[in-house]
Amino acid sequence: MASTDGSSPNTGAPGAINWAERRRVAPSTIELWKSNVTALQDCGVDSCQMRYALIDGKQSFVFTFNQAVPSGRLGLTFPATYPENYVNEGWTKLIMTLDATVEKEMLVHIRGRYERDNVPIDIDVEFLRTIRGGRGVGKDTVSTTDARNNQTDHTSLEGLIEEMNVDGNRKYCRKTDNLRDMSVEGFVAIITRYLKDVAIRRRAM
């Protein structure tokens, strides 16, 4: 069952007025999962997929329930989105999908196209947050493809978080950031910085 009736998920963080401020107060992936599990239980379903798309500056949002009919208010929480920032940064297409289940896992899928200096880069990110002890990360992949020649590179969110500049400072994030406690908003910010770096490095090719 899909909903496009204008219903909006919660985005939390009252008082957040811009992207940087939102990052400081955005829920971690575990907090996001907990919030959505409560909402799923309240409306009597086991899972939900929330899909946000920004394509050529136009937004859409869809809830999908797997052969289930939720009851009552849909109090689901989706990461905050900043379409103007995304477009200004170089995203021509950005699709974020959140699959939350009461079975102790949440899949974040981010894909799209980023373009800077006439270098189009396709991105595909999958991050599976599990709530079963251990690292709590079931999957962490980041793939970029230069759309001009189909050359693909692979890394991970954890790799991007840990990558350093020559001066010893983190290259794409703050020194206190870590994979387990970061928000999806934080992931998008890191990915955007990484894509900018990739495009700059590849523009002479």
Compute CA distances 109 → 32, 96, 127, 175, 202, whole Å. 14, 6, 7, 25, 25
Query: Using CB atoms within 10 A of its CB, is residue 133 exposed (0-12), middle (13-18) or buried (19+)?
Result: exposed
What integer pLDDT is reported at residue 10 of this predicted model?
60
- pLDDT for 16 equals 44
93: its two tokens = 């297409």
Mean pLDDT of 107-127: 97
Look up residue 78 and give its two tokens: 């989706």
Percent of the chain with pLDDT over 90: 72
Q: What percent of the chain has pLDDT over 70?
A: 87
Q: Is 198 helix (H, G, I), strand (E, B) or coil?
A: helix
Query: What's the confidence (pLDDT) of residue 12?
Result: 44
- Positions of E strands within the chain: 2-3, 47-55, 58-64, 91-101, 105-116, 119-130, 137-146, 151-155
pLDDT tens digits, one per residue of 13-72: 444 445 455 545 789 999 999 999 999 999 999 999 999 999 999 999 998 988 778 888
Which residue segment(s) compose the domain that 163 sits in? Answer: 2-202
Which pLDDT value is given to residue 4? 37
Among left, alpha and beta (phi > 0; psi -120 to 50; other), residue 36 is alpha
Task: Domain count for the chain, please give it.
Answer: 1
Instruction: Evaluate whether 159 touches 153 at the Cβ level (below 8 Å).
Output: no
